Structure 1
Amino acid sequence: MLEMRDMGAPINPLALIVALFLTLSSTTTLVVGGFTGFGSAAGPSVIIVGAGMSGISAGKTLSDAGIKNLLILEATDRIGGRMRKTNFAGINVEMGANWVEGVNGDTVNPIWTMANKLNLRKFRSDFDGLSSNAYQENGGLYESSVVEGVIDEFDKVDEAASKYSKALPPSGSKDISVLTSQRLQDHVPTTALEMAVDYFNYDYEFAEPPRVTSLQNTVPLATFADFGEDVYFVADQRGYASVVVRRIQYGRGGVTVSTEDGSVYKANYVLVSVSIGVLQTKLIKFEPVLPDWKILAIYQFDMAVYTKIFLKFPSTFWPQGNGTEFFIYASERRGYYPIWQQFEKQYPGANVLLVTVTDEESRRIEQQPDSQTKAECMEVLRNMFGKDIPEATDILVPRWWSDRLFRGTFSNWPLGVNRFEYDQIRAPIGRVYFTGEHTSTHYNGYVHGAYLAGIDSANIMISCVKKGLCKYEIKPKES
């Protein structure tokens, strides 16, 4: 999802959005990190808050429809939003979106099309050897047959859950959690290995545990059902962005957007593409206050935290070759440094490992020194590979949850939210429109969800501006 939850082989996520941005009309004005490019055009004016994938996608859609008087306000010093590369240990790694998920199906993922057009480096993620790379908490590998047995049992549970999910009302009114589905089948993970496999199946994908995650909107997962089961990791060295908006005033006559540096911008419409995590804070003040139904819908959704921790070593000590890209650490403490990835193919000779944590562990780690996180990682690795392995020379710990401009990594559809609330999240309020991966009905949390959400929200605005169809219909909530 919008780790934007994209997992697989290296492409350059930032390159995708830069290429998309370059297709915008020359009349688009960008204000990002103090740099301003100017343009002007006749017709209605639109301010887009945020230069992430959704904001840029919406801008291109508006521009292509003839609405070219656009101003994009970006709070960071770059475009890209949660698609962010940084240099670590001499290579460019992605702190946010890193995978194209949903490839090689009957329908082509639009992000995959963009990646191929740009000829980005892509590596299919190889999970096939996982059963041979599951480590016990106190050292030693599990027998592969034991791990395969646990995985097979989970597959059966998932298959039954999928059938149950498809039989539920489309509105989501009878939805249950993934954990409840497991309980109905008398299959609640209890052993360290079962919890590790459960984490790989759910938390590693959705950044939150099965007890809070909606069954109906994740099993089966639309991304894989629609676009294919394969996932590709992005490792292109070109990469996959302060104007902080603090107030949005809106009325029948137009909108006024005020930023932290005291600047004031006026337009006919505003399109807000910040994360739902930011919408749940007081960073942006809306005047008048958003209606209660809108606020309630926003707060019912979850902003999850997905943390990719990179470690650099002087030499390799982990298995390499086919079937060794991913390995699991099965701790009695669920979610404690569980999923590891080595980059023999993606970053040859870099000697870098990636470990992923989520949710409560992510928040805990963000609040402690990197030195403590490194020490915890080294203890886990020494449990797996022995006491004589070399010490990590560097560590990179992203802090998306602590960053006031993001407040997390991507949205997760929790139990209790159905499609009625989802329509409310996306619905415009007068001249204020909303977009972002969290407004994508089927692909929330993914890069392709952000891209398609930008197009959808722009088209809602276009219908109003061009056709006078400004009333947004929200289907009645089904019982």
Structure 2
Amino acid sequence: MLIKTVFLLFFASFGACDPSVIIIGAGASGIAAATRLLKNGITNITILEAEGRIGGRIYSVRFGEGYLDLGAEWCHGEKDNIVYEMVKDLNILRHTQEFDPEMYHSKFKRLDQNFSNALLHTFDKLIAEPKKSASMGERLISRYEEVIDQWKNDPSVYAIAQEAIKFFEVYVIGYEGAFSWFDVSDDDDYMVSEGDLNLNWNGHGFKTILDLLMQKYPAASKSLPIDDKVLLNKEVHEINWSSKQAVVKCTDGSSYAADHVVVTVSLGVLKHQHDSLFQPKLPGDKIQAIKQLGIAAVHKVLLHFPQRWWNDSYGGTYLLWDKNDGKRISFSEGPVKDGVSWLTSMSVLLPVLHNSNILEAWIVGHFVPEVERCPDEVVINGVMYLLDYFGVVMENITWPDTIIRNNWYTNPHFRGTYSFQTPHTRRGIHSDAVILSEPLGNNGEKPNLLFAGEASNPTHYSTVHGAIETGFREADRIITMYK
């Protein structure tokens, strides 16, 4: 009799009113939400994914000796990091040996390594100073001349240090994922996880965290039935949340109704489509939050060479432009703005761990959308032109035979790489991220429209662990409604 009573109680909790849930997006937050729901007995789940694959901004592709990550690449920190907690006992993550790139100047070619290291150390100290301005750009420019005074007694070195502010700008916006350092708030709510901020996946790819969430790894026999819940190539064009059940319509003509819809699309998609995507339209404070949070993109380019022409000690190349050379170069392919080539937006070339014949270039700033649209051969030609122009001297430099890249900004399913706080972002306890995360709907205590994704994380935005936290958060919100 007791067993029967317990069974009936469980059935009353979930079985008699098994809520239906649609999750829009099969990235880290969407997969996290689905797995949490399944583990808590909510099984009526449909995941609508616009791409032909799962993973979202995690995009690990098999190549050569391991997996290459075209999106998220590093596990950032160890303490208070759900990604690290999930994998720490599986002997997967590795501490990354610090790169020591050589710095080249467009006019003076290779610079003294001691000066290069001192310059980078000065950058890092300047970034870490107290935040007193509206934007990072304002503060760093205002302080720059003062911090490079250490080289004032050597006019030639001092001139290079002055020109390095352009490299510094590219350095900053590449890290922040912005198009301009004036777009990035000087102070922010981001909480750094203690420990190694650049743990690598030892050739396994960031996709490993998805396999762990779905319990496909380390034992596939224990996997959750996520694959049965995912519908690929389902681009959503309307979410009607006006009734008790929300209705989701896709561009292929299909439609789905559910008690709850969890929206996990990127901030970039919300910026571009919120006005047409939601019926009725979102309330003003949520629209304001979407507008005031920031997202742009970096363009990661991976080049495979048939023969490796660099040695094991090669730590990469930083490119520092003479103030006039950006307008003097003869490379005619690809976009140009105000007489300056897109090549000036590439500042670094790095070796790729666990794929010994691959170099990785980062293109940042306002040129990113146009470079994403360039043919592969233009990008290859540009990178190789720069190696020659900057005088990178190595024997037997070969031409790459493969280029691997992904267009995060021009792809309408992403519209950016990761979010950041702008000078206009509301911060603190009522931050724009908090407002973005608040559920909507007139279904009493059971809202039918919920929001997840890294941009809705007040303190761990821009990260995979932040995205997973929000997926768990919204799943727990639904679970609590039916307890």
Deviation at 1:418, TM superposition (A): 1.6
Counterpart residue identity of residue 177, structure 2: F
Return the alpha-carbon distance in structure 1 between the equivalents of residues 412 and 254 of structure 2: 20
Summarize the alignment of residues 204-283 of structure 1 with structure 2, pairs less than 5 Å apart: 204-217=175-188, 222-223=191-192, 226-237=193-204, 240=207, 242-282=233-273
Return the alpha-carbon distance in structure 1 between the equivalents of residues 128 and 206 of structure 2: 37
Deviation at 1:347, TM superposition (A): 1.6
Q: Does structure 1 retain, via aligned residues, the 8 Å contact 2:34–2:45?
A: yes
The answer to whether residue 280 in structure 2 is matched with residue 288 in structure 1 is yes
Match of 2:140 in 1: 182
Return the alpha-carbon distance in structure 2 between the equivalents of residues 186 and 95 of structure 1: 33
Q: Does structure 2 retain, via aligned residues, the 8 Å contact 1:235–1:347?
A: no
Q: Does structure 1 retain, via aligned residues, the 8 Å contact 2:183–2:294?
A: no
Return the alpha-carbon distance in structure 1 between the equivalents of residues 345 and 53 of structure 2: 33
Q: Mean Cα displacement is larger for which, 401-410 or 379-388?
A: 379-388
Counterpart residue identity of residue 402, structure 1: T
What CA deviation, in whole Å up to 9, does each residue of 1:231-277 have, x standing for no partner? 12335356627111111111342111111222221111110001111
Aligned identity (percent) is 26
After superposition, the Cα gap between the structure-2 partners of 1:206 and 1:217, relative to the gap in structure 1 and judged at 3 Å, is: farther
Summarize the alignment of residues 88-107 of structure 1 with structure 2, pairs less than 5 Å apart: 88=63, 92-103=67-78, 107=79
Q: Which sections of structure 1, spanning at least 5 residues, go unmatched?
A: 1-39, 166-174, 468-479
Match of 1:77 in 2: 52
Counterpart residue identity of residue 137, structure 1: S
Residue 109 of structure 2: SS of its match in structure 1?
coil
Q: Mean Cα displacement is larger for which, 413-422 or 85-94?
A: 85-94
After superposition, the Cα gap between the structure-2 partners of 1:138 and 1:114, relative to the gap in structure 1 and judged at 3 Å, is: farther
Q: Does structure 2 retain, via aligned residues, the 8 Å contact 1:42–1:69?
A: no
Find the partner of 2:19 among 44, 48, 58: 44
Return the alpha-carbon distance in structure 1 between the equivalents of residues 49 and 411 of structure 2: 15
The answer to whether residue 200 in structure 2 is matched with residue 199 in structure 1 is no
Match of 2:81 in 1: 109
Find the partner of 2:349 among 340, 354, 357: 340
Q: Mean Cα displacement is larger for which, 260-269 or 288-297?
A: 288-297
After superposition, the Cα gap between the structure-2 partners of 1:413 and 1:384, relative to the gap in structure 1 and judged at 3 Å, is: farther
Deviation at 1:423, TM superposition (A): 2.0
Match of 2:435 in 1: 424
The answer to whether residue 39 in structure 2 is matched with residue 58 in structure 1 is no
Find the partner of 2:98 among 86, 108, 127: 127
Find the partner of 2:43 among 68, 75, 80: 68
After superposition, the Cα gap between the structure-2 partners of 1:238 and 1:297, relative to the gap in structure 1 and judged at 3 Å, is: closer
Residue 44 of structure 1: SS of its match in structure 2?
coil
Deviation at 1:54, TM superposition (A): 0.4
Counterpart residue identity of residue 249, structure 1: N
The answer to whether residue 385 in structure 2 is matched with residue 390 in structure 1 is no
Match of 2:61 in 1: 86
Q: Mean Cα displacement is larger for which, 386-395 or 181-190?
A: 181-190
Match of 1:325 in 2: 315
Counterpart residue identity of residue 326, structure 1: G
Please provide the CA RMSD for this pair. 2.8
Find the partner of 2:419 among 407, 411, 419: 411
What CA deviation, in whole Å up to 9, does each residue of 1:84-125 have, x standing for no partner? 12345675312111111124xxx25221233345543x4433
> Which of the pair has more CA radius of gyration?
2
Match of 2:336 in 1: none
Residue 227 of structure 1: SS of its match in structure 2?
coil
After superposition, the Cα gap between the structure-2 partners of 1:384 and 1:445, relative to the gap in structure 1 and judged at 3 Å, is: farther
Find the partner of 2:380 among 374, 378, 385: 374
Deviation at 1:186, TM superposition (A): 5.0
Deviation at 1:229, TM superposition (A): 4.2
Counterpart residue identity of residue 180, structure 1: E
What CA deviation, in whole Å up to 9, does each residue of 1:258-298 have, x standing for no partner? 11222221111110001111112238621112222222221
Deviation at 1:319, TM superposition (A): 4.2
Q: Which sections of structure 2, spanning at least 5 residues, go unmatched?
A: 1-14, 149-160, 208-231, 327-342, 442-447
Match of 2:460 in 1: 443
After superposition, the Cα gap between the structure-2 partners of 1:435 and 1:205, relative to the gap in structure 1 and judged at 3 Å, is: same
Return the alpha-carbon distance in structure 1 between the equivalents of residues 355 and 376 of structure 2: 23
Return the alpha-carbon distance in structure 2 between the equivalents of residues 306 and 239 of structure 1: 18
Q: Does structure 2 retain, via aligned residues, the 8 Å contact 1:337–1:380?
A: no
After superposition, the Cα gap between the structure-2 partners of 1:273 and 1:311, relative to the gap in structure 1 and judged at 3 Å, is: same
Structure with greater helix percent: 2
Find the partner of 2:105 among 129, 136, 141: 136
Q: Does structure 2 retain, via aligned residues, the 8 Å contact 1:138–1:384?
A: no
Deviation at 1:456, TM superposition (A): 2.2
After superposition, the Cα gap between the structure-2 partners of 1:90 and 1:45, relative to the gap in structure 1 and judged at 3 Å, is: same
Return the alpha-carbon distance in structure 1 between the equivalents of residues 252 and 170 of structure 2: 43
After superposition, the Cα gap between the structure-2 partners of 1:231 and 1:205, relative to the gap in structure 1 and judged at 3 Å, is: farther
Match of 1:158 in 2: 127
Residue 76 of structure 2: SS of its match in structure 1?
strand
Q: Does structure 1 retain, via aligned residues, the 8 Å contact 2:299–2:372?
A: no
After superposition, the Cα gap between the structure-2 partners of 1:286 and 1:198, relative to the gap in structure 1 and judged at 3 Å, is: closer
Return the alpha-carbon distance in structure 2 between the equivalents of residues 114 and 296 of structure 1: 35
Residue 297 of structure 1: SS of its match in structure 2?
helix
Counterpart residue identity of residue 314, structure 1: P
Return the alpha-carbon distance in structure 2 between the equivalents of residues 59 and 406 of structure 1: 20
The answer to whether residue 444 in structure 2 is matched with residue 433 in structure 1 is no
TM-score (norm 1): 0.76
What CA deviation, in whole Å up to 9, does each residue of 1:44-102 have, x standing for no partner? 21111111100111223333444332221112222111111234567531211111112
Return the alpha-carbon distance in structure 1 between the equivalents of residues 315 and 116 of structure 2: 17
Match of 1:301 in 2: 293
What CA deviation, in whole Å up to 9, does each residue of 1:14-54 have, x standing for no partner? xxxxxxxxxxxxxxxxxxxxxxxxxx985221111111100
Return the alpha-carbon distance in structure 2 between the equivalents of residues 154 and 396 of structure 1: 30
